[in-house]
Structure 1
Amino acid sequence: MPTELINGFGKVYLTIEYDSVNHWVYNNWIGYQTYVGIIKGADECLYPLQENNCAYLLNDNRQVLGPWNHAVEWLVTQWAPRAMAQGLTHFAQVVSPESFAAQSAEAMYIGISDRFQMRMFGSITDAQAWLREEQRLTAQAQRKP
């Protein structure tokens, strides 16, 4: 069952769900994002990653309105190290390429792409395909003697 986070206007701004079939956490961010909301949401997504020993995150920003540059530094310096420490290795970021949110995602990518595998996608299908392929490659590498 997904976790829904509600903003000050009573609207859902983030749903977080562990996808047990694909073994990844799916975050769906919606609307305008505040600094406080981003911090709460990013922290909340760590729980299903940890509880399910999950190394894969599918972060969907296609429905985000406006930039979220105000939180990039915190995500890079505070959230990313904690996510890595609990095992996050692959981060698929889905954005609408023409949106302000895409610019914020690019800034985040520059800040954390050297810490774990992060890729940006304009299509959810492409992001899912990349995560599946990375899971396949990881499983294949683990089977080798």
Structure 2
Amino acid sequence: MQISKHTDLRDGSSCILEYDEANGWLRATWLGHVEPREAYNGAARYLQALQNVRCPYLLNDNSQLSGPWFDSVEWLRTVWLPRALHMGLRYVAHVAQPHDLLDEAASMGRSLLEGQLHLQVFDDVASAEEWLHQMQADAA
């Protein structure tokens, strides 16, 4: 079920947020060259969606991004993450851009408080999905 989709009319970049009912997780798919303002707005839309769809699992897919990603690990760590944790987020499968497995999410993961959020970085969507399924099975 699609929750939101924002497309930048200037260059076609977009962020699609959906609740994957079959798998029981939220999926954020980023496409194209996403400017910092678009990234902040997409992250904020995720928090709005999480208020209504309390889901501990997120698949964040950056595999179709081109250009640099979001430059504010500090904002993610100090503003976005505490809000997401408060609303129940516990597992993030992050699919990195093809050319950069050690992207911002990997850096953020090193600075998180142990035990509050499980973050894994992947180079393909199938591996990320497999890990989320395993996390769901372990939590059951």
> TM-score normalized by structure 2?
0.87
Displacement of 1:113 in angstroms is 6.4
Residue ranges of structure 2 left out of the alignment (5+ in a row): none
Displacement of 1:43 in angstroms is 1.1
Aligned counterparts of 1:76 and 1:123: Cα–Cα separation in 2:
24
Change (3 A) 1:109 1:137: same
CA contact (8 A) 2:13 2:33 kept: no
Q: How many residues get paired?
A: 138
Aligned counterparts of 1:78 and 1:116: Cα–Cα separation in 2:
15
Q: Which has the higher helix share?
A: 1
Identity of aligned residues (%): 33
Partner of 2:106: 106
CA contact (8 A) 1:38 1:71 kept: no
Residue ranges of structure 1 left out of the alignment (5+ in a row): 140-145
What is the root-mean-square deviation of aligned Cα atoms in Å?
1.9
Alignment of 1:110-125 (within 5 A): 110-112=110-112, 114=114, 115-125=116-126
Note the alpha carbon deviations across 1:3-30, whole angstroms, 9 max, x for none: 2112251624110000111110000011
* Residue 38 (structure 1) aligned with residue 39 (structure 2): yes
Alignment of 1:9-20 (within 5 A): 9=10, 11-20=12-21
Secondary structure of 2:5 counterpart: strand
Range moving further from structure 2, 37-46 or 90-99: 90-99
Change (3 A) 1:94 1:128: same
Note the alpha carbon deviations across 1:67-92, whole angstroms, 9 max, x for none: 22522221111100000000000000
Displacement of 1:97 in angstroms is 4.6
Change (3 A) 1:68 1:49: same
